[in-house]
Amino acid sequence: MRRLRWIIRDILLITIYYSGLAALWAALWGRRSGILSYHNVLAAGEMSKGFAYRVDCTIEVFESQVAYLARHYPILPARMIGQEASEGWILTFDDGMLNAYSTIAPILSRRNLTAIFAVCPGLIEGDIPHVWRDHIYLILQQSVGRSLRLPMDHYGQPVAIGADNINAIGAAIKDHVVSHKIADVYRLVRTLCECNALPYHRETVHPERFSPMDWPMVRSLQAAGHVIASHTWSHRILSLLPDDQKREELQRSRAMLAARLGQAPEVIVYPYGGPAEVDQETMTLAAECNYRVGLMNVPARVPGPDAMAVPRFGLPPTPWRAHLFATLCGVKHALKGT
């Protein structure tokens, strides 16, 4: 059913784009400015259908999207974040993996562009081995052909791990975390390792995707004019945390970034960033922690303090002009229920 909806949506997008209706809609109601969300940019051969890669795009797709934006819209300097712009887009990149330094930054440099890079100091410092969902993916991916005891039944009956069920199991673990409101997701990952006699450490698999930049790399991005934002200390789901732990995630990250970079970040990019993950208490605490701008992952404004609930959204991982135009101007989001 979902695939059928996507086919219908794509047919509609093609029709309204090539008929000129999308351009008319954009002229009357469309947006011309905003903030775009990216994560990792990888070589095509490094991509996978695994759930950890669903937010990523290939180098070829990213370069084509930047070229499309540069032809049709201003790409604004990252330092303009929080300022009103009549037209133009700001680029943001989450998580701060190695590809941000080795792949993304050089592409931007060739076009004299700057962006916002959101990093988790706890990951760079080694306080956590990986972002928790990435770590679960790596555990599952490296356990293909064996059975694991999983948290959904309190690590009871072993479940066979195959290449065809990694995504389903990963989704089930995430649902378990959310439905049981598990605040300490890293304890869950550690327990998953302990119950299956697996080491709890940073894996060396595909470091461009799963290992973070180090501090000299982050400082190099800052020196090149990019904005370094906080992505909290350890990328937990903030709405699941009690207020004291929310505050610690926000304050600890800001303090470490100030110490390592000589400048406290003004921007907080909330992990996951949807209304289900970012509650009003989180926005209030972010402002109290002296963040000036809070970036969510929503196509339009949601309730909350304006500066602490700034919308942003991702482009589909395609160079297809109909999709890009429809997403940027808002037609695609208007058809989301189709």
pLDDT at 337 over 60: no
Phi, psi (deg, nearest 5) at residue 69: -60, -45
Q: What is the pLDDT of residues 84-101, one digit of tens each?
A: 777 899 999 999 999 999
CB-based burial of residue 93 (10 Å sphere; 0-12 exposed, 13-18 middle, 19+ buried)?
buried
% of the chain residues with pLDDT over 70:
98
Per-residue confidence (pLDDT) for residue 119, from 0 to 100: 98
Note whether 12 and 316 are within 8 A (CB): no
Note whether 165 and 136 are within 8 A (CB): no
When the pLDDT of each residue in the chain is averaged and rounded to a whole number, the result is: 94
User: What's the pTM?
Assistant: 0.95
How far apart (Å, rounded) are the C-alpha atoms in residues 252 and 248? 5
Per-residue confidence (pLDDT) for residue 84, from 0 to 100: 79
Radius of gyration of the chain (CA): 20
Secondary structure string (H, E, C) spanning the chain = CHHHHHHHHHHHHHHHHHCCHHHHHHHHHCCCEEEEEECCEECHHHCCCCHHHCCCEEHHHHHHHHHHHHHHCCECCHHHCCCCCCCEEEEEEEECEHHHHHHHHHHHHHCCCCCEEEECHHHHCCCCCCCHHHHHHHHHHCCCCCEECCHHHCCCCCEECCCCCHHHHHHHHHHHHHHCCCCCHHHHHHHHHHHCCCCCCCCCCCHHHHCECCHHHHHHHHHCCCEEEECCCCCCCHHHCCHHHHHHHHHHHHHHHHHHHCCCCCEEECCCCCCCCCCHHHHHHHHHCCCCEEECCECCCCCCCHHHCECEECCCCCCCHHHHHHHHHCHHHHCCCC
pLDDT band at 338 (very low <50, low <70, confident <90, very high): very low
Note whether 308 and 283 are within 8 A (CB): yes
Residue with structure tokens 């795009």? 57
Q: What is the pLDDT of residues 140-194, one digit of tens each?
A: 999 999 999 999 999 999 999 999 999 999 999 999 999 999 999 999 999 999 9
pLDDT band at 1 (very low <50, low <70, confident <90, very high): low
Per-residue confidence (pLDDT) for residue 6, from 0 to 100: 67
